[in-house]
């Protein structure tokens, strides 16, 4: 009787879990489906108020218009450059910091960890105006490398906390054995801990790259020239460039802009899921 009651309670819990997941999927998925629907509509059908998600006369003209734009490939390249700078730079800064938090018991460690977490809670909107004034005074506005440094600063706190969780799951005895054998702390970190945490590093890199790809506020403020804009900002140019069916063209551009991030996650999802499962099991 007790086993049957536990089994029924487990089924009820599963039902509530799946219902919650369905609501979350609907909340985020329905706008995306509507965006895809708009991208296949012509100007006349975009203006018609309808809840039908399937266009009556699907067309690829919006996608052809976007792909024929001379600026669109440049926007994608700029996003790729900024995402690479942000993700690699965040890992380069966060990995040693996370290792120190995980392995070294120094004075003020807990307070500093909380300070790093507090940095993650600061919205880029708060930093936008001071950054603009600071970059303008230095004469480095409209610079991809300089903007990439801001990406690194924004992504580094979250990367530090995530990597610390992965490093905590690696037995301390491994790098302590390396230290006993005469290796330095840096050598133990580079030769022992990093190779073991490779899957975790890959997972964090992908997440940082996706966050950098979606960043809007910082490039919108710091980058002004059309040739320097990433796709998240450059796609807004389509609103003023096309007089007819700007909504459908903007939707098609948005769909194409999302595809690289989706493909990156799909290709590397095995590493991401595996890394988080391993981290949970070790934890």
For 233-259, what is each residue's pLDDT tens digit?
988 877 666 556 778 888 898 999 999
d(CA 206, CA 5): 43
Percent of the chain with pLDDT over 70: 90
| C-alpha distance across the termini of the chain, in Å | 34
Q: How confident is the model at residue 278 (pLDDT cuts 50, 70, 90)?
A: low
CB-based contacts of 84, cutoff 8 Å, min separation 6: 209
For 190-222, what is each residue's pLDDT tens digit?
999 999 888 889 889 988 999 999 999 999 999
Residue 50 has a pLDDT of: 65
Q: What is the largest CA-CA distance in the chain?
A: 75
**Residue 238, token pair as written in the block:** 């389509």
Give the gyration radius of the chain's Cα atoms.
23
Residue 269 has a pLDDT of: 75
The answer to whether the CB of 61 falls within 8 A of the CB of 214 is no
Residues shown for the chain: 283
The answer to whether the CB of 255 falls within 8 A of the CB of 35 is yes
Asked which of 51-55, 143-147, 159-163, 167-171 is least confident by mean pLDDT, the reply is 51-55
Task: Spell out a b/e string for 62-72, using b for 16 or more CB atoms within 10 Å of the CB, else e.
Answer: bbebbeebeeb
Asked if the 70-234 domain carries CATH number 1.10.3720.10, the reply is: yes
pLDDT at 273 over 60: yes
Q: How confident is the model at residue 2 (pLDDT cuts 50, 70, 90)?
A: low
Which residue did the predictor score with more confidence, 189 or 119?
Answer: 189
The DSSP 8-state label assigned to residue 193 in this structure reads I
Residue 76 has a pLDDT of: 93
Chain-wide mean pLDDT for the chain? 85
Of 209, 92, 114, give the one whose Cα is nearest residue 161.
114
């Amino acid at each position: 009787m007790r086993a049957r009651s536990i089994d029924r309670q487990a089924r009820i819990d599963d039902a509530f879990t799946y219902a919650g997941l369905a609501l979350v999927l609907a909340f985020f998925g329905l706008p995306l489906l509507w965006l895809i629907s708009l991208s296949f509509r012509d100007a006349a059908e975009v203006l018609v108020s309808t809840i039908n998600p399937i266009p009556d006369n699907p067309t690829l003209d919006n996608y052809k218009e976007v792909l024929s734009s001379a600026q669109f490939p440049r926007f994608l390249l700029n996003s790729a450059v900024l995402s690479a700078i942000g993700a690699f730079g965040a890992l380069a800064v966060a990995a040693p910091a996370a290792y120190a938090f995980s392995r070294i018991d120094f004075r003020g460690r807990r307070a500093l960890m909380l300070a790093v977490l507090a940095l993650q809670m600061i919205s880029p909107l708060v930093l936008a105006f001071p950054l603009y004034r600071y970059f303008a005074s230095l004469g480095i506005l409209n610079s991809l490398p300089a903007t990439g440094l801001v990406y690194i600063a924004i992504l580094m706190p979250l990367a530090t906390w995530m990597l610390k969780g992965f490093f905590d799951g690696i037995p301390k005895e491994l790098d302590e054995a390396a230290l006993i054998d005469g290796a330095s702390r840096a050598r133990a970190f580079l030769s022992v801990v990093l190779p073991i945490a490779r899957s975790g590093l890959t997972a964090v890199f992908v997440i940082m790259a996706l966050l950098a790809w979606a960043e809007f506020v910082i490039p919108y403020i710091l980058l002004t020239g059309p040739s320097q804009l990433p796709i998240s900002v450059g796609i807004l140019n389509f609103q003023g460039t096309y007089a007819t069916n700007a909504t459908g063209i903007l939707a098609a551009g948005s769909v194409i802009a999302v595809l690289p991030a989706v493909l990156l996650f799909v290709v590397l999802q095995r590493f991401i899921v595996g890394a988080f499962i391993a981290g949970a099991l070790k934890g």
